[in-house]
Amino acid sequence: MSDPLIKILQADITLQNTEAIVNAANCSLLGGGGVDGAIHRAAGPELLEECRGIGGCPTGEARITKGYRLPAKYIIQTAGPVWRGGERDECRLLAQCYQNCLRLAEKYNIENISFPSISTGAYGFPIQKASKIALEEITNFIKSQTTVKQVFIVTFSSSDTGVYIAAQEDFDQH
């Protein structure tokens, strides 16, 4: 049986009304393309102002900002690893992104949160591998005592959705 606390949902993450959404940002936190661009456009220019004051985010770490014009109260900004063939600690760094986002959510007493598929767009991380890491880290985290009660993995394309659903089915069998 799938963990009812983790739901895979094909949607635009900027429209999610969970308390927090995660942004697959870059280390500068000053905006970019893909989901990062969509979040900055939807949240409005105050987000960039706040991000300027943070001074960046090393790969694998996470920082929290307000959600501004988004339905979400908070945005947890994380910088995923760029895929460079798998020999540069990419898997561990991606796992750290999920862990650090969830730790920050817990610190802010957040009960529900939406993640995009971190690093699998412009950063080129193979989505099959990334989906396994995402499910493993989220599952491990919510098994422990935590404020986080519901996690959405928000995919954008139907092929990505298929990969995450297959990974979840596979995960449930092991």
Q: Is 117 in the site for ligand ADP (CB under 6 A)?
A: yes
Please state, in angstroms and rounded to a whole number, the distance separating the CA atoms of residues 38 and 34: 6
Q: Say if residues 100 and 113 touch (Cβ distance below 8 Å).
A: no
Rg of the Cα atoms in the chain: 15
Q: Does 160 bind ligand ADP (CB under 6 A)?
A: yes
Q: Is 34 in the site for ligand ADP (CB under 6 A)?
A: yes
Active site residue 3: no
**CB of 122 or CB of 146, closer to ligand ADP:** 122
Catalytic hit among 3, 36, 170, 172: 36
The 55-84 site mask, x for binding ligand ADP (CB under 6 A), equals -------------------------x----
Q: Is 31 in the site for ligand ADP (CB under 6 A)?
A: no
Are 137 and 95 within 8 A, CB to CB? Answer: yes
Q: Which helix (H) or strand (E) holds 45?
A: helix 45-54
Catalytic residues: 36
